[in-house]
A = this chain, B = another copy of it.
């Protein structure tokens, strides 16, 4: 008898449920529900462009809508029965904390806070706490530099403590009413298992480690005296937090009878601790030691794992190294590029070369495909939204060199794509340089599925074959795999993530293999990219750049022969 698990995937604008056969990863049913509140599910404030909140009611409504929808679809598949669902996993955006009362109920559900933005969930991309982030960074530099070493030197306005401290300053009534703050990734598993009470709530290492400065190295969350120095009111929040955190192999409890009835699922099936979407996307793509998973979309997330036993050094410029944040038993390493698809979209949507269809992705891709590597004489820096890895610097900007009176729109488009590929290579090299070997690169996300030219350029620049994840819903699949692991082998699930990965993930037959003559040219262009990368992106490289334009022209002339 086949067994199945459910992955619940909370994205920025919608929630998805995916039902997966644990034996082979077959996706037998899925449903998506768009959040009802705000614009595309996001509560905005025209006077505060940094503000982005979500109503927790949407999170609750979305469970039944999507799980029942996915079950309805799955029931049409031969061999599926709801009674054979053995576990649930959850991934969400983050850091997306919400304030809750002493009973663990979201303040947003109280009548007096029903319209109060600060009582809602603070979506990952809410930047209202930038002053608070700067204050925390400054204080940590003085008192606890080790905190900053774990997050790339700068604490972000997108993260847990920035948001809570901003709430204290801007919405004191909400702050006062909040007993504690709970990440969405923790709240959904708790809700399904009836463990939302603060005394019972289990928090996941993924959110705590990457966003809330949790580290076993200093006993969990940041020290109360440090937080108190930032603001005495934070001491109370710190005391509301536990000293342990859980990984995705840990079940936070069993599905409550009430939820089981509502959803039409067996009561008591285990629900895994949550994790962020990208991390479980890595799992759903088949992450393992030696495998780099790249989620290629508007930006990228580049994930790898390394055995805890390896005693990994700090890796300069890598902003997230958290034990067990992706897989139990391994460091989770998270890198990324601040903008990839966003750069191509900027060029198409804001610059609109040629206007309309002539400047659309399809036409520019057709034009760029005809170009040989190096033939444009162009070289770009892909820092239009700053540089996340390895420079960790939001205040870097994009550049384009080698322009002539003959430069075409398609040449620029290709140069922008190549620049993101060079940026990707910097990350791969940094991993390997610090003892994290990359033997396979598995790609998922919109670009990997839709743009073979981009994938071929990446293969040529990285000089590695590139694989594409078989699933197009790797986050939900990864969550479903967590459900299979917490269910365990005895229940028909899997004993380990290695077993789940073996059984449930895979790549498409089509691989992008490096083309030797392109590799040769890109090797030279990459060296030029690195020169510009270092002289504009670091403080310590002083070099003459006279050769850059000459070398680009020489490569151009050679490519056109």
Contact = CB atoms under 8 A, between A and B. Distances in A.
Given A354-B355, A355-B358, A346 B407 contact: yes
Given A352-B353, A542-B542, A544-B535, A405 B385 contact: yes
B405 A402 contact: no
A353 B351 contact: yes
Nearest to A547: B539
A355 B546 CA distance: 35
Contact of A384 (B395, B405, B539): B405
Contact of A552 (B350, B353, B397, B546): B397
Nearest to A401: B399
A340 to B, nearest CB: 11
Contacts of A384: 403-405, 407
A396 B342 contact: no
A402 B397 contact: yes
Contacts of A398: 401-404, 407
A543 interface: yes
A103 to B, nearest CB: 43
Interface centre among A343, A354, A542, A549 (most CB of B within 10 A): A549
Contact of A397 (B346, B350, B352, B553): B553
Contacts of A542: 542-544
Interface residues of A, number: 50
Nearest to A399: B401
Number of copies: 2
Contacts of A537: 546
Contact of A355 (B343, B355, B397, B404): B355
Contacts of A539: 544, 546
A524 interface: no
A281 interface: no
A249 to B, nearest CB: 38
A404 B398 CA distance: 6
Q: What secondary structure prevails in chain A residues at the interface with B? A: mixed
Contacts of A383: 549
A434 interface: no
A40 interface: no
A2 interface: no
A550 interface: yes
B538 A546 contact: yes
B399 A402 contact: yes
A397 B409 contact: no
A400 B546 CA distance: 16
A377 interface: yes
Contacts of A351: 351, 353-354, 407-409, 412
A408 B384 CA distance: 12
Contacts of A198: none
Interface string A520-554: 00000000000000011111111111101110110
A517 B377 CA distance: 38
A217 interface: no
By Cβ-Cβ distance, the 8 closest A-B pairs, closest first, are A355-B355, A398-B403, A542-B544, A399-B401, A397-B402, A400-B400, A352-B354, A346-B405
Interface of A: 339, 342-343, 346, 350-356, 358-359, 377, 383-385, 395-409, 412, 535-546, 548-550, 552-553
18 contacts: A343-B405, A352-B354, A352-B358, A352-B359, A384-B404, A385-B404, A395-B553, A396-B549, A397-B401, A397-B404, A398-B401, A400-B403, A535-B545, A537-B546, A539-B544, A541-B544, A542-B544, A543-B543
Given A397-B552, A535-B546, A542-B544, 17 more contacts: A350-B407, A351-B407, A351-B409, A351-B412, A353-B355, A354-B355, A355-B355, A355-B359, A383-B549, A384-B403, A384-B407, A397-B549, A397-B553, A399-B399, A536-B546, A536-B548, A539-B544
